[in-house]
Amino acid sequence: MANTAHAAEPAGETRRDFLLHSTVAVGAVGTAMMIWPLISSMNPAADTLSLSTTEFSVAGIAEGSRIIVVWRGSPVFVAHRTAAEIDAARKVNVSELRDQEKDEIRVQKPEFLIVSGVCTHLGCIPLGTKGTDPKGDFGGWFCPCHGSQYDTSGRIRLGPAPKNLAVPPYKFTGDTVLIG
Amino acid sequence: MSTEKSRLQRVFEWHEARLPLVGFIDHAVGTKYPAPKNLNYFWNFGFLAGFMLITMILTGIFLAMNYTGNVHMAFDSVERIMRDVNFGWLIRYMHANGASFFFIVVYIHVFRGLYYGSYKSPREVLWWIGVIIMIVMMATAFMGYVLPWGQMSFWGATVITNLFSVIPVVGKMITTLLWGGFSVDNPLLNRFFALHFLLPFVILGLVFLHIWALHIPGSNNPLGIEVATGDKIPFHPYYTAKDAFGLGVFMLFYFGMVFWFPNALGDPVNYVKANPLVTPASIVPEWYLLPFYAMVRSIPNALIGVAAMFGSLIVLFFLPWLDTSRIRSATFRPIYRILFWVLLLNMFVLGWCGAQHPEGLPLILSRIGTFWYFFHMFVLLPVVGWIETPKPLPASISQPVMPAFKPAE
Ligand code: HEM
Ligand code: FES
């Protein structure tokens, strides 16, 4: 190959260093700016986000029964609680719970519990909505996957799940509920 | 600096001794690849083609994450990409305009080879792989254009797949096989999606063979003569820097189109959903296929027309033998140099004709153009090679600029 060695360069930063570093810097920023839209395109699209509210009425839910509504593609439990169920939820000594929350802050109207239907362990849907379902020792929900048990406030009481069933953001307008 | 090896250096060497990944790259496009020192910017286009291939594969994968290959949903899924998917417009415009720029780059790359005689011995196999890449690219681009399932997608697919029906005896069987039915419909869209996803990776594999074949003789050069070892410089940093600069200039044009004229090269009719019962007023392929489309339409016999179109590509495989001159670079071939420019002009004329209705002047011109293409290949190339008196070749690539310099062998 041709003699490519060049005369001894002056010590310290040279013009060549400057050009190299600025080129690499611009190239790196440019590449990052290209990766960002590509990754971003994998996040929920506008039409997916527009599906992110759900509206339903609690008028038809008899006392003591439960329904499931779908919000963002996942189930939400809606329970019309009996006085006994409310009482059971409120009697519990909060300091004994794994995820310490009072029933009062988990509901807007005591007779309607609205919680996410996704087990906080690994995402299965706990049983307990249908009358024939097992409800666990605490009268709430029982997860068939690894046996987590939730009480009548949707709080974790037994089994591997770390957290209570989450309360989604919702608003009552008369009997109508808007989730999301 | 201490001569002691750092821990990192030792880990690196341990790994290199077992799988010399970095060494491989260094030999392919690094300090261990000696390249002629007189390469001009036309030698940038192989690298640019590689850049476009990577760009197409990347944007394509993200498009495929949101695309649906079904006749009822394809068009809407593309509109959703344009309107709802985050940056979907950018990814799609980069892919669609990327196809055009890929062809611009590859066509310049090929005409570079024609001008400087890069297809001649000992680079025939390298050239063949290039021709195969170009043909596979055309197939890939055609199938990609069918995917959005607009009017031009549908009718383009109908016309092109029907080209095969003119083949005697088996023609109809071939079209039925391509369609998976009795017309262009869902089965075709499905398989085109699968193939359009696959072929770029086939091209990627071919590019590796292409680079491998390039490294056996090494790069040709603008003078087309053998290069002494003393006249070579390492690819890195010299040509990596030059390629990087070329890439910057190229991206100004590419992204200029993507951001300011994203639909300039596309046909507005393709924003109308496919309708199997209504043919649009004129069916034209994308610009990069127009010269070949003009050839097909210039000949009144369907079979010969199709044969001419495929033949115009097949003939390129035989170029190393059709061209009887042993002088590579057109710089030293006074007659061939003129023929080269006439051939290039001829491609543009054919391209223009391909976009017009085949009647009157465009029809006459496309007949002359098609005739000239084959006349150039089969008659002029061999004859000119025999009768032409080339200009004297320099003794080395240094000689024209540094007459006193004697490069080491
Ligand atoms: C996907 C498309 C292609 C890619 C990525 C690609 C890549 C490359 C690269 C990186 C080089 C070395 C740099 C250079 O000389 O420019 C090269 C050289 C070459 N390519 Fe391609 N190429 C492609 C298509 C083609 C086609 C379609 C042909 C011809 C029909 C072709 C013919 C050649 C020849 C003859 C050389 C050697 C040129 C010389 O040394 O003078 N290539 N290619
Ligand atoms: S997912 Fe419910 S207990 Fe494991």
A50-95 pLDDT per residue, tens: 878 899 999 999 999 999 999 988 999 999 999 999 999 999 999 9
In angstroms, what CA-CA distances link B60 with B53, B88, B244, B263, B264? Answer: 10, 11, 24, 18, 20
Indicate the fold that domain A50-179 takes in CATH: Rieske Iron-sulfur Protein (2.102.10)
- Segment B281-331, tens digit of pLDDT: 888 999 999 999 999 999 999 999 999 999 999 999 999 999 999 999 999
Q: What is the mean pLDDT of chain B?
A: 96
**pTM of the full structure:** 0.88
Residue A149 Cβ contacting ligand 2 at under 6 Å = no
B160 and B298 share one domain: no
Instruction: Name the residue of chain A whose CA is nearest to B232's CA.
Output: A1
Per-residue pLDDT at A10: 60
Residues B151 and B298 both lie in one domain: no
Percent of chain B with pLDDT over 90: 96
Provide the domain count of chain B: 2
B271 with B302, same domain? no
- Tell me: cis bond preceding B122? Omega within 30 of 0 counts: yes
Q: How far is the CA of A149 from the centre of ligand 2 (A)?
A: 9
What is the ipTM metric for this complex? 0.83
Separation CA B263–CA B261 (nearest Å): 6
Q: Distance from the CA of B113 to the center of ligand 1, in angstroms?
A: 8
Instruction: Verify whether ligand 2 is closer than 6 Å to residue A120 (CB atom).
Output: no
B294 found inside a domain? yes
CATH for B252: 1.20.810.10
* In chain A, domain spans: 14-43, 50-179
- Asked if the structure places residue B189 within a domain, the reply is yes
Mutate to test the interface with A, among B57, B59, B86 (most CBs of A within 10 A): B86
B307 and B267 fall within a common domain: no
B409 touches chain A (CB under 8 A): no
Name residue A15's amino acid.
R
B116 & B243 share domain = yes
The answer on B325 and B355 residing in a single domain is yes
Closest partner CB to B229 (pick from A1, A40, A47):
A1
Q: Report the Cα B251 to chain-centroid distance in Å.
A: 17
**Which residue, of B213, B247, B280, is where some domain finishes?**
B280
CB distance B53 to ligand 1 below 6 Å: yes
User: Do B45 and B104 belong together in one domain?
Assistant: yes
Q: Is B59 inside a domain boundary?
A: yes
For residue A67, what are the β-bridge partners? A78
Q: Give residue B208's domain range.
A: 35-221+231-280
User: Residue A16 pLDDT more than 90?
Assistant: no
Q: Which residue of A has its CA nearest to B409?
A: A1
Verify whether the Cβ–Cβ distance B232 to A2 is below 8 Å: yes
In B, which residues are within 8 Å of A2 by CB distance? 37, 230-233, 407
Q: Is residue B115 located within the same domain as residue B235?
A: yes
For position B3, what pLDDT does the model report? 66
- Is there a single domain that holds both residue B240 and residue B102? yes
Rounded CA gap, B220 and B224, in Å? 6
The nearest CA of chain B is from the CA of A38 a distance in Å of: 7
With respect to residue B30, please indicate whether it lies within any of the assigned structural domains: no
The reply to whether B170 and B211 lie within a common domain is: yes
Show the 3-state SS of chain A.
CCCCCCCCCCCCCCHHHHHHHHHHHHHHHHHHHHHHHHHHCCCCCHHHHCCCCEEEECCCCCCCCEEEEEECCEEEEEEECCHHHHHHHHHCCHHHCCCCCCHHHHCCECCEEEEECCCCCCCCCCECCCCCCCCCCCEEEECCCCCCEEECCCCEEECCCCCCCCCCCEEEECCEEEEC
B126 C-beta closer than 6 A to ligand 1: yes
Q: Are residues B325 and B252 in the same domain?
A: no
**Phi/psi of residue A177, each to 5°?**
-115, 135
Residue A21 Cα to ligand 1 midpoint, Å, equals 30
B40 and B79, same domain (yes or no): yes
Compare CB distances from B87 to A2, A27, A41 and report the shortest one's residue.
A41
Give the number of other Cβ atoms within 10 Å of residue B277's Cβ.
4
The model's pLDDT over B138-172, given as tens digits with 9 standing for 90+, comes to 999 999 999 999 999 999 999 999 999 999 999 99
User: Please, what sign has the CA dihedral across residues B49, B50, B55, B57?
Assistant: positive
| Separation of alpha carbons B202 and B151, rounded Å | 29
Q: How far apart, in whole angstroms, are the C-alpha atoms of residue B286 and residue B355?
A: 9
